[in-house]
Amino acid sequence: MTKTKKSIARQHHYVPQCYLKRFAHPDRKPPQIFVVDRSGNTFYANPKNIACERDFNRIDLDGHDPDLLENSFSQFETVLSSALDELILSEKFEDKEVRQTIFEFIDILVIKNPKMREKIDNFTSDISKQIMNIFLASPERYQIEMNKTREHALKEGRELPIVPYEEMKALHERGDAFEIKAHRHFHLQLEEQSPVLETLYHRRWTLLKAPPTEVFITSDHPVSLIDLSATKSVFGIGHAMTETEVFFPISPTLALSGQYEGAESKLNADVFDVAIYNARTIASAKRQVYSSTETFSYVWTPPRSLFMSGCDLATDPHFCRPR
């Protein structure tokens, strides 16, 4: 009997469908989400076709299933879907298991996304270029460093190809990128995962409920880290810093806000609250914003304090980028 070849998933979501579908238009079947792109395009899309990239989680390691990472995230999404259902139904953020799952989800969204990969790629590329500048300072220096590298590889049971100095120099001068495979991204991301996750447990969380006339929106980078300090740091902010807020939309009707200061609570947000938080979600987006309706509200902080509609976002110069 001929064995059926295992099908390998190629379209990988960095924001899972089980979360995105909660922002679908209530009257459209199959589920459709209103999308605003930084290019200025607007359209409705099925959750399966947004916030995804081909082979985003694929790994290419001998002896490992290329779908290993994708399958592990799929298993987590089953647990996540139940936690989201319970949170939305109860409108309470008290259950220990629900909190743990939501915190793990926020952590994954912070780490496992194109924005973070781009930062890692840029940082690694810059460091690699500096190292190669030293290696290629002269043919003699290059030979010394290559001999060291080859000896180290042989101790690990690997044999590196011999690349002549002129060939390597030409590659370097062309600016050919140093590619980081998905499995390496995964290890780099895991190094950050526990510290970020731990900070979420130390924050005091407020469950925000939108008024009947308003909706929270989400994006392809749904978690916002907001600086609440009076004097903004020129070095940026991090998840362990006080006077910061983590904001995460759960659904069109619910969202979470976490700060180190204050107490846990549930708050009925007003129209202005929702509009301000929507603007923060918009600002955090890498490329796209997602909503259950075209008429969501947002407002930039003063002096740009005019209420705007989702219909305006596609032409808003503070969101759109030139093609």
Q: What is the mean pLDDT of the chain?
A: 83
Taking phi over 0 as left and psi of -120 to 50 as alpha, with beta for the rest, 51 belongs to left
How far is residue 1's CA from residue 269's CA, in Å, rounded to a whole number? 62
Whole-angstrom distance, CA of residue 186 vs CA of residue 15: 16
Stronger pLDDT, 278 or 63, i.e. the higher one: 278
Residues 6 or more apart whose Cβ sits within 8 Å of residue 315: 40
The widest CA-to-CA distance across the chain, in whole angstroms, is: 72
Query: For the residues 289-313, what does the mean pLDDT come to?
Result: 89
321 three-class SS? coil
* Percent helix / strand / coil, the chain, rounded to 5: 40, 15, 40
Count the helices and strands in the chain (H runs, E runs).
9, 13
Phi-psi region of 3 (alpha: psi -120 to 50; beta: other; left: phi over 0): beta
User: What confidence score (pLDDT) does residue 141 get?
Assistant: 84
The pLDDT assigned to 68 comes to 54
Structure letter (DSSP) for residue 1: -
Helix ranges restricted to H, 162-314: 165-174, 182-202, 271-284, 310-313
Q: Count the Cβ atoms, other than its own, within 10 Å of residue 21.
A: 16
Does the pLDDT of residue 29 top 90, yes or no? no
User: How large a percentage of the chain has pLDDT more than 70?
Assistant: 79
Phi, psi dihedral angles at 258 (to 5 degrees): -120, 125
What whole-number distance in Å separates Cα of residue 263 and Cα of residue 275? 23
How distant, in Å, are the alpha carbons of 52, 116, 122, 247 from that of 321? 20, 20, 21, 24
Dist. CA 245–CA 117, nearest whole Å: 23
pLDDT confidence of residue 300: 92
Is the pLDDT at 184 greater than 70, yes or no?
A: no
AA letter at 190: L
CA 64 to chain centre: 25
Pick the more confident residue, 224 or 117: 224
Model confidence pLDDT, tens digit, residues 119-154:
656 656 666 677 777 778 888 888 888 888 888 878
What pLDDT band is residue 176 in, cutting at 50, 70 and 90?
low
Distance separating alpha carbons of residues 261 and 176, to the nearest angstrom: 47
CA–CA separation, 13 and 52 (whole Å): 4
What pLDDT digit, counting tens, does each position of 211-229 carry? 999 999 999 999 999 999 8
pLDDT (0 to 100) of residue 62:
58
Residue 30: cis peptide before it, omega within 30 degrees of 0: yes
Res 7 pLDDT > 70:
no
**Residue ranges covered by each domain of the chain:** 15-52+203-323, 55-202
Here the tokens at position 29 are 């079947």
Name the more confident of 304 and 98. 98
Can you read off the two tokens belonging to residue 34?
A: 């209103």
Q: What is the pLDDT of residue 10?
A: 65
Is 88 exposed, middle or buried (CB count within 10 Å of its CB: 0-12, 13-18, 19+)? Answer: middle
